[in-house]
Structure 1
Amino acid sequence: MNIDYSKRNFGLDVLRATASLFVLFGHTLWIGDNYPNFLETIFRITPTIGVEIFFVLSGFLIGMLVLKEIEKPSFSFKNIKKFLIRRWFRTLPNYYLVLSINILVWYVIFNKIPEKLYQYFFFIQNVSERTNSYFYRISWTLSVEQFSYLLGPLLLYFLILIAPAKKRSQLFLWVTLLIILIFNLSRLYFYLNETLTDLEDWNETIRKVLIYRLDAIYYGFLLYYLYKKYKNQIAKYSLGLFWVGLSLLLFLYIFRGFFGLTIETVQGFMILLFLPINSIGLCLLFPQLLKLKTTSNSIRKTITTLSIISYPVYLLHYTVILQCLKVIFPSESLVGFQLWAYTFLYWGITFLLSYLLYRFFEKPATNLRDNPRIKRFLKID
């Protein structure tokens, strides 16, 4: 794999690799219930953290691209079109390929077509309610991503049409704060009108539902705006911000229970505050991590490779690879050496197939967006 390290930020690669590993490790629990207790505890919290890292990281990077586009003097709808098409070349081919594989796997295992299958093709499977299906479970995050690509850029485009003289970066900030406010209010509406029974109910009814989650991406937008505008000041305090952010995350995931902050005792905290604090805590980690460097070529190569294949890992690991493995080799009763052999086999297959998917499908598909014929056909020159 030929990698131009000069064009990559090692800290962002660390974040992306960590997020994919956290999600993979968390879903490893589906293999069975016989892991050591301390590992089981860690595995239970890592997928949530991993997904939220992906959201903030995606928002940071997409926010950077969007702000650059709208600040161009020649900005028009063509810029929005170009941005969306380039994102879709990056995300949709993999998604639809793995969706097709999931459909085939589901049919072979259960001898039926998944319910409401059409929703997965349009990313509307979790717009206002849980998916109610174990089919392609991780796809809910892709819905959040795809709708975030549309919402902010289109709002900015219309605002620029209405107020062309306004400073573009200021409009970017206003739209970002407006979206964060709206989706925090959506959770407030839920809190005033609904009741949750337990953490699983919160997880499926709040955390994985689109109308309560789009703000997760826009904390990344806000982070990029602040980082760009106050880079020197933020860099000065980056280490302190890192420790504050880490403390917030430790409180949410490790120590929250000691204070009795659970769904059963304080629904308001879990519905209204947990997710925003989580996003803010992650944002506070970024300035220090963006400064990360390494002199070890082997570490850099490993981290960068894991970062590059993170999207295939995310798409393949759960409802394709692990589901097939469990059908072929049931794992619930495994203990000791057999359990760990199965675990490492699962991880190894995931990394291998993810690399192959990236190398022979994702990368060629993404490269098509720079093909002159494609650009002319789509009018995105």
Structure 2
Amino acid sequence: MNALEKQNSTRMFGLDVIRAIAILLVLFSHVYYLIDSTNPLVISLSGLSGFAGVELFFVLSGYLIGSILLRQYITDNFSLQSVFVFLKRRWFRTLPNYYLILFVNLGIAFFLGYPSQYWYKYFYFFQNFKTYSIGFFSESWSLSIEEWTYILLPFSLFFTLKIGNKLSKKWTFLSTIFLLIILAHILRFFNMKNSDISTMEVWNTNLKSIVIYRFDTILYGVLLAWLHQFYTHFLNTYKIYFLILAMNLFVLQFVILNVLGVDIMSSPMYFHVFYFTLSSVIFFLALPYFIFWKNSQSVFFASVTFISKTSYAVYLIHYSIVAVIFKYILSKFSFQFPSILILFIYFGITFLLSYILYRFYEKPIMNLRDKN
């Protein structure tokens, strides 16, 4: 078996499906922007798909890093060296692509005249740490949340293990996750008491996209990793029921509550503190069904695997590079292109460039990491 066959044989098809769904939802969220749609339904669905796609990525990421950390935590001494090994492997996975695309975005921002006075914050993921300072490369808000959570979680696990070294690692790990989740809720509650967020636009930039209020969304995936490790049979037995519950909660949050007129003014506690909780719980409940989907003979197998493998590259370039430049080029024409042609070109260019980035930059770096 060659290296490629070995890699593909160890992939979990269900997780590839989740990645593919998440990135396609994110891509769809910019459709209205590209075709200049003013249809309220299209705009609403675009907003929902973008939010759902990113939140799904968050929970999936939490499950993956949680599985890695938990294995280290229960089998090793979990020293500071363990923490730095974990961080080094994560940074090999995320930072090379990020910094390459950041430099490209800096060039685009300069060329198109986008606000870039806070460009230096992007190098340390401070562009949305506690205040929103994003003038370009708007996708980076979610990457900041991920990177800071990668730091917060292992160090928290290390220190709580030292404090409670006589306790079972199983329960120390779980206690740490719950404490961090509670901390995020406390921070959002105090934000509600000390800020004036009265519109969804302000909510989007001053709460939804801020690291110190959102790190818990990844921790629900870590919690799922804990359940998968210690209660595998339980998750496998009830996975379809969890999926059905998740679907019903999704309809409740994004359809029924909207129809009932629940908004940020009438229910500030919900929108400030618990809106993200319910979103994360929905995807936390949906994920077990896909965790146990090991492989597939589906005719869509190759397409799903391709989209999954290139999903990080797609996320990095799809909007601030491809969509923005494509939109700029379209504005130079004196006539309107058919919407279907615009979308076909957009998706085609996005996946072509993403494959090139993955094949000739991301994958060699990952191979180097694994080799060393």
Indicate whether the TM-score tops 0.5. yes
Equivalence for 1:273: 274
**One-letter amino acid of the structure 1 residue matched with residue 28 of structure 2:** F
Return the offset for 1:29: 2.1
Deviation at 1:6, TM superposition (A): 2.0
In structure 1, the residue matched to 2:156 is: 155
Structure 2 counterpart of 1:52:
55
Residues 31 and 332, structure 1, Cα contact 8 Å, conserved in 2:
no
**Residue 28 of structure 1: CA displacement?**
2.4
From 41, 45, 49, give the equivalent of 1:42.
45
Give the conservation status (yes or no) of the 8 Å contact 2:128–2:134: no
Give the whole-Å Cα distance in 2 for the aligned partners of 1:58 and 1:189.
Answer: 27
- Give the one of 117, 132, 140 matched to 1:130: 132
8 Å CA contact 1:99, 1:136 repeated in 2: yes
Structure 1 spans left out of the alignment, 5+ residues:
373-381
Determine the structure 2 residue equivalent to 1:379. Answer: none
User: Is the CA contact (8 Å cut-off) linking 2:239 and 2:289 kept in structure 1?
Assistant: yes
Check whether the contact 1:123–1:143 (CA below 8 A) recurs between aligned residues: yes
List aligned pairs for 1:1-381, cutoff 5 A.
Answer: 2=4, 4-34=7-37, 38-110=41-113, 114-133=116-135, 135-292=136-293, 295-330=296-331, 338-372=338-372
Aligned residues: 369
The CA distance in 2 between the partners of 1:120 and 1:333, in whole Å, is 36
Distance 2:163 2:259 in 1: 51
Q: By how many angstroms is 1:77 displaced?
A: 1.6
Question: Contact between 1:331 and 1:339, CA under 8 Å: does it hold in 2?
Answer: no
Q: Deviations over 1:189-240 (max 9, x none)?
A: 1112222222111111111011110101111111111222222122222111
Identity of matched residues, %: 34
Question: What amino acid is aligned across from residue 179 of structure 1 in structure 2?
Answer: L
TM-score by length of 2: 0.93
Q: 1:72 Cα shift? A: 2.1
Find the counterpart in structure 2 of residue 377 from structure 1: none
Unaligned runs of 5+ in 2: none
Q: Is the 8 A contact 1:309 1:358 kept in 2?
A: yes
Task: Tell me the distance in 1 between the aligned counterparts of 2:130 and 2:274.
Answer: 20
Deviation at 1:7, TM superposition (A): 0.5
1:32·1:331 contact (CA, 8 Å) conserved in 2? no
Matched residues in 1 for 2:344 and 2:230: separation?
45
Give the distance between the partners of 1:334 and 1:122, measured in 2 at CA.
42
Root mean square deviation of aligned Cα: 2.1
The one-character-per-residue Cα deviations of 1:308-346 (angstroms, maximum 9, x if unpaired) are 1000000000101111111122299986x6122011101
What is the SS of the residue equivalent to 2:300?
helix
Deviates more, 1:237-246 or 1:116-125: 237-246
Larger deviation, residues 309-318 vs 338-347 = 338-347
Conserved 8 A contact 1:128-1:210: yes
Q: Contact 1:106/1:113 (CA < 8 Å) preserved in 2? A: yes
C-alpha spacing 1:122/1:132, structure 2 compared with 1 (3 Å): closer
CA displacement 1:59-80 (0-9 Å, x = unmatched):
0110111111111244322211
Q: C-alpha separation between the residues in 2 aligned to 1:263 and 1:181?
A: 22
Q: Cα 1:291–1:115, aligned 2, differ >3 Å: closer, same or farther?
A: same
| Amino acid paired to 1:349 | I
Deviation string 1:281-331 (CA, Å, 9 cap, x unpaired) is 111101112233664353111111101100000000010111111112229
Alignment partners' CA distance in 2, 1:119 and 1:281: 32
